């Protein structure tokens, strides 16, 4: 079985090729979009300041990304060859996660490629073409 994973921050589309059969599976990340409000309440220097809990939001986002990556890894761990591709930095982050915490999969990763956004048909064709 060979697997291609297109991912960004919203979703991962996993295409698996197995003995000529192909299947496609979508995993949604459920990563919340945090819009942090706060900062200076006035233009005057030394004016009142709002306390912004950036670390709390960043920590929660880090856990959500970890859960998202765990879901993806669960889907692809049986594959003999894996390619990661997508428009954002998430591919590189997933690759780092695999290297650091799932070493048994590292040798299966054939490439990490930066690509544009694609439709499901384009993703399927890209993976078939890659393998």
- Average pLDDT per run of 10 along the chain, which is 131 residues long? 94 93 94 64 56 76 94 95 92 94 93 93 94 91
Q: Kindly report the pTM of this predicted structure.
A: 0.82
Tell me the C-alpha distance between 33 and 22, whole Å: 33
Tokens 């761990």 correspond to what residue? 77
78 contacts 70 by C-beta, under 8 angstroms: no
What's 2-130's CATH class? alpha beta
Residue 43: per-residue pLDDT = 57
pLDDT tens string 60-75? 889 999 999 999 999 9
Tell me the C-alpha distance between 82 and 3, whole Å: 5
13 contacts 120 by C-beta, under 8 angstroms: yes
Cβ contacts of 35 within 8 Å, gap of 6 or more: none
What are the CA-CA distances from residue 48 to residues 41, 52, 53, 62 (Å)? 6, 13, 16, 30
Which residues in 25-37 are b (16+ Cβ under 10 Å) and which e?
eebebebeeeeee
| Domain parsing of the chain, residue ranges | 2-130
Is the four-CA dihedral 112, 129, 69, 114 of positive or negative sign?
A: positive
């Amino acid at each position: 079985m060979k697997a291609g994973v297109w991912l960004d921050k919203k979703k991962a589309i996993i295409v698996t090729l197995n003995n000529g059969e192909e299947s496609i599976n979508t995993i949604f990340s459920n990563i919340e979009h945090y819009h942090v409000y706060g900062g200076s309440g006035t233009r005057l220097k030394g004016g009142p300041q709002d306390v912004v809990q950036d670390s709390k939001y960043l920590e929660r986002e880090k856990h959500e990304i970890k859960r998202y990556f765990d879901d993806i890894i669960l889907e692809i761990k049986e594959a003999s060859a894996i390619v990661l591709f997508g428009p954002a930095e998430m591919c590189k982050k997933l690759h780092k996660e695999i290297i650091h915490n799932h070493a048994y999969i590292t040798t299966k990763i054939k490439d990490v490629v930066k690509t544009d956004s694609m439709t499901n048909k384009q993703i399927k064709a890209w993976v078939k073409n890659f393998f």
